[in-house]
Amino acid sequence: MKSKSVGDIVLGNKPEKRRKPIPIETQKKLLIRSKGKCENCGKSLENLKPLFHHIDGNPRNNQLSNLKVLCPDCHYSPDFNKSSYSSA
């Protein structure tokens, strides 16, 4: 971790890398939309932890249209692990 210089703080050009957690309400809507299933393979997530994939790779874009509900198998597959994600 680099410490911020005073100049960075004053100029406000600190790198903004923090990811916003997906709001619970959004998570609920996503799970309703997906009917509790993985939106990639259709597997039921009943006994699994649902994972939320950011389609555009931007972890701060928490719009429903940018999020996909995935099972862990799909989430950690090479097709998806190149992008950013948030877990519930």
- Nearest approach in angstroms of CB 68 to Zn ion is 10
- Tell me how far CA of residue 74 lies from CA of 25, 26, 51, in angstroms: 23, 20, 9
Q: If binding is defined by CB under 5 A, does position 41 make contact with Zn ion?
A: yes
Q: If binding is defined by CB under 5 A, does position 71 make contact with Zn ion?
A: yes
- Nearest approach in angstroms of CB 45 to Zn ion is 8
Which segment (17-25, 28-36, 59-67, 68-76) binds Zn ion by CB under 5 A?
Answer: 68-76
Q: Classify residue 67 as exposed, middle or buried by CB count within 10 Å of its CB (0-12, 13-18, 19+).
A: buried
Helix (H, G, I), strand (E, B) or coil at 29: helix
Give the interface with Zn ion as residue ranges (CB under 5 A).
Answer: 38, 40-41, 43, 71, 74
